[in-house]
Chains A and B, each alone.
Chain A
Amino acid sequence: MKKIAFALLFVTTAAVAQSTPRSAPSPAPAAMASPAATPAPAASPRAPHNVTQLFQVVILHGTMSGAEATENVPKNVDRAIADVRDFLPFKRYRFIDSGLLRLATGSSGQLTLDGVSNTQYRVNFGVNPRTQSHVHISNFTVQPLTGNVGEQSVGKAVIQTSFEINGGETVVVGSSRLGGGSDALIVLLTALPGR
């Protein structure tokens, strides 16, 4: 509880410090072929401006070995995990770290969270306004941090995508090895409702 409160304070402060208003949304990378990856169009006249949205980012480690288990996963993402279980081949979902990030529409921010095997991950994304109920998450990127504290550099992105998200919704973004790896990095992004 203390950790989450601290993370909220730290992350919110960091997000405000790192948020960079953008005059135009950056185009999604060419590798993303999904419709969600297309460059975000300009906001509609009715889209809210200068509205902030609080996001929860949860990092899980999925493994195929061992008995089926969900360890220390926050309650508010229980349903998403239950849904994912039916589709993904992983048996064990282990909570690694979580953080909160408040972003104003039209800005971007980043979080640094713990990862698997003492690796840290930088989670970076932008928020573009759509309508009252949902926003466009652009360039959602998860990159490992390498090197010592203070001299860290970001590695190649393990996750890079763009998508829409509704208030209160949890989107599961994950990555695993092509051809059936036994481990997966799973990131749950929740747009916390009414915050």
Chain B
Amino acid sequence: MSENLTKVEFTNLKKTLFPKLKITKAQVIEYYIKIAPKMLGFLAERPLVLTRFPDGINQQGFYEKDAPHGTPSWVKTLKIYSETAKRDVNYVLCNNLDTLIWLANLAAIEIHIPLSKADSREKPDFAFFDVDPEPPATFKDATIVALLLKEKLHNLGLESCVKTSGKKGLHVLIPIVPEYAFRETRTFVHKIGQKLAKEHPLVVSELTETKKPGKVFVDYLQNSHGRTMACPYSLRALPEATVSTPLKWSEVEKGIKPTELNIFSVIKREKDPWKRILENKQKLK
């Protein structure tokens, strides 16, 4: 390249990553380049977990926590001792555009972030409600529950924000000051879920009930050290190339089709509903 706009050396750009929609790696990289201004803020200083599909989503992909062999020296990484693996895991931190492009070039289609930042790993800056419908409950049902949740939090003086998971449910989050341990946020989220479950037959809040058909599970367990969620604006490895898309609550009220929020449409959205959410970190009590 005559112009050095990026340090990344592109490879296999013509490779098809989403066969049903014939989406190539070049298109995936282009998506992440275009979405970067909205997405980078949520990636910064968080040890990432990647799901890579070098041969496309119809072939076996793999989870990756360790920075892969051949990671360039300009990519920032962070060693964290893993209790389960009994060794240091060398996580990738994505603090700039080049790193995001590099990840896309690795066919890291899904990018997952922890709820806490690297400098305060035990103190999350999000409380996270994973609103997960169990068939025959639908996305519509998840919408109903998410709106109930929003109302409940609002009554407690808390402003929440919402995104599609990119799969079948919704993610409701409260940006919080990193003062609480995971145990505290987990208990908080669980309690809200229990209250909702009491008030509404559609909602379940206990681990034992997760697979109850036709119910919507408000999952609190993700509020734990080492757990991750799909990063806002991450692609999902589904045939429709859906995106975990930040929404305005008014959009949720009007009703949306999560499959329509994909690699092509999300890039065209003028809205950036989560633009200022990291500036509004709240206290839980």
Do the two shown chains form a genuine complex with each other? no
| Chain A interface residues (CB < 8 Å from chain B) | none
| Chain B interface residues (CB < 8 Å from chain A) | none
